Amino acid sequence: MSPFDARPDGPSHRQSGAPAADGARGGTPEQALGRLFGIGVGPGDPELLTLKALRLLRAAPVVAYYAGPRKRGNAYTTVEEHLRADQILLPLVYPVTGRIPAPPFDYEGTMRRFYDRAADLVAGHLAAGRDVAALCEGDPFFYGSFMYLHDRLAGRFRAEVVPGVCSVVASAAAVGTPLVYRDQSMLVLAGTLPEAELERRLADADAAAIMKLGSNFEKVRRVLTRLGLAHRALYVERATMHGERIVPLAEIDPASVPYFSMLLLPGEQWQGA
Ligand SMILES: C[S@@+](CC[C@H](N)C(=O)[O-])C[C@H]1O[C@@H](n2cnc3c(N)ncnc32)[C@H](O)[C@@H]1O
């Protein structure tokens, strides 16, 4: 059984499989092909779904979404109440989530094969003329897993992206602090970067968002402390989702930091206005 056969506990009457993709346009009139929609569903609060996302989501015969094994995924649960009973659900179940297994496990190769197979499954529907709405947390083109489908399929099928409310601005709203004033610049970093690289890049940042914390949290906190920036850092967990938490940096237990968390370093408040 492939990872794709593992259904999250969605409604049982829906079909999740897809015919294998031939993928090519060869011989198929373009108008007969389905369209791929990357739907940004926002950071978690279902009210942050855009009207356009909702319209295209409800119109699509197929809804694809990434999820962990035996999970439904945040993007799916964000839009679940809007789905029609006759829509085909296509869960794309990650082979690995959370902490990355150490070598000799081939993480990059495993993920590449997973995204290839996910794209084949989506392509099967597109080639059969069915539009596919692929859900993505936040915005699809901002660290969004939809990008791996887009990279593989946009050259062969019509693809459109519906931008979503990004977690960075949702987190700023959650902590109630403006991010950047006037001519300030903002740096967006992944906490997965090596410690020295984080330190080098953060050293002269006006403002920053540090994403993908999880097990990287302690490393990031060390860097902020060394740079004398810890007092400015605001930690947000699950912004706009159930269980949203805003905790002072010093009080965070590194063992409890989830994947859906980030640190914001807002720009200094503008005094001139
Ligand atoms: C793969 S990126 C996805 C970003 C997403 N496409 C966006 O536009 O926000 C995942 C990272 O986004 C951040 N993130 C996503 N949703 C979040 C939320 N509701 N609250 C805090 N951080 C969030 C976390 O840093 C997480 O590790």
Asked, for residue 216, whether it belongs to a domain, the answer is yes
Same domain assignment for residues 151 and 173: no
Interatomic CA distance for residues 262 and 43, integer angstroms? 12
Asked, for residue 65, whether it belongs to a domain, the answer is yes
The CB of 78 under 6 Å from ligand 1? The reply is no
The CB of 94 under 6 Å from ligand 1? The reply is no
254's CB contacts (< 8 A; 6+ apart) are 215, 217, 218, 221
Same domain assignment for residues 189 and 248: yes
> How would residue 1 be classed by pLDDT, with cut points 50, 70 and 90?
very low
Same domain assignment for residues 107 and 215: no
Same domain assignment for residues 96 and 187: no
Asked, for residue 270, whether it belongs to a domain, the answer is no
pLDDT of 24 > 70? The answer is no
Q: What pLDDT, on a 0 to 100 scale, did the predictor assign at position 148?
A: 98
Domain extent for 65: 3-165
Residue 118 corresponds to which tokens in the numbers above?
A: 């996910």
pLDDT of 9 > 80? The answer is no
The CB of 211 under 6 Å from ligand 1? The reply is yes
Q: How many CA atoms lie within 13 A of 32 on its CB side?
A: 9
CA angle 238, 174, 207 (to 5 degrees): 100
Do 229 and 205 contact (CB within 8 A), yes or no? no
Q: What is the pLDDT of residues 27-76, one digit of tens each?
A: 445 559 999 999 999 999 999 999 999 999 999 999 999 999 989 999 99
211's CB contacts (< 8 A; 6+ apart) are 143, 167, 168, 188, 189, 190, 191, 262
The CB of 239 under 6 Å from ligand 1? The reply is yes
pLDDT of 25 > 60? The answer is no
Same domain assignment for residues 149 and 47: yes
pLDDT of 100 > 90? The answer is no
Which atom of ligand 1 is found nearest the CA of 136?
Answer: 6
193, 192, 171: which is closest to 245 by C-alpha? 171
Do 161 and 140 contact (CB within 8 A), yes or no? yes
Residue nearest to atom 2 of ligand 1 (CA): 143
Which atom of ligand 1 is found nearest the CA of 174?
Answer: 20
Average pLDDT over residues 167-172: 98
Q: What pLDDT, on a 0 to 100 scale, did the predictor assign at position 96?
A: 85
Residue 161 corresponds to which tokens in the numbers above?
A: 């992206």
Do 53 and 135 contact (CB within 8 A), yes or no? no
Asked, for residue 82, whether it belongs to a domain, the answer is yes
The CB of 138 under 6 Å from ligand 1? The reply is yes
Q: Which of 146, 165, 184 is the last residue of a domain?
A: 165
CATH number at 258 reads 3.30.950.10
Q: What pLDDT, on a 0 to 100 scale, did the predictor assign at position 101?
A: 82
Residue 83 corresponds to which tokens in the numbers above?
A: 């789905």
- Phi, psi at residue 230, to the nearest 5°? -60, -35
Asked, for residue 273, whether it belongs to a domain, the answer is no
Same domain assignment for residues 131 and 175: no
- Phi, psi at residue 90, to the nearest 5°? -125, 85
- Per the structure, the count of domains in the chain is 2
Q: What is the pLDDT of residues 186-219, one digit of tens each?
A: 999 999 999 999 999 999 999 999 999 999 999 9
Q: Which of 127, 144, 165 is the last residue of a domain?
A: 165
Same domain assignment for residues 134 and 209: no
Asked, for residue 272, whether it belongs to a domain, the answer is no
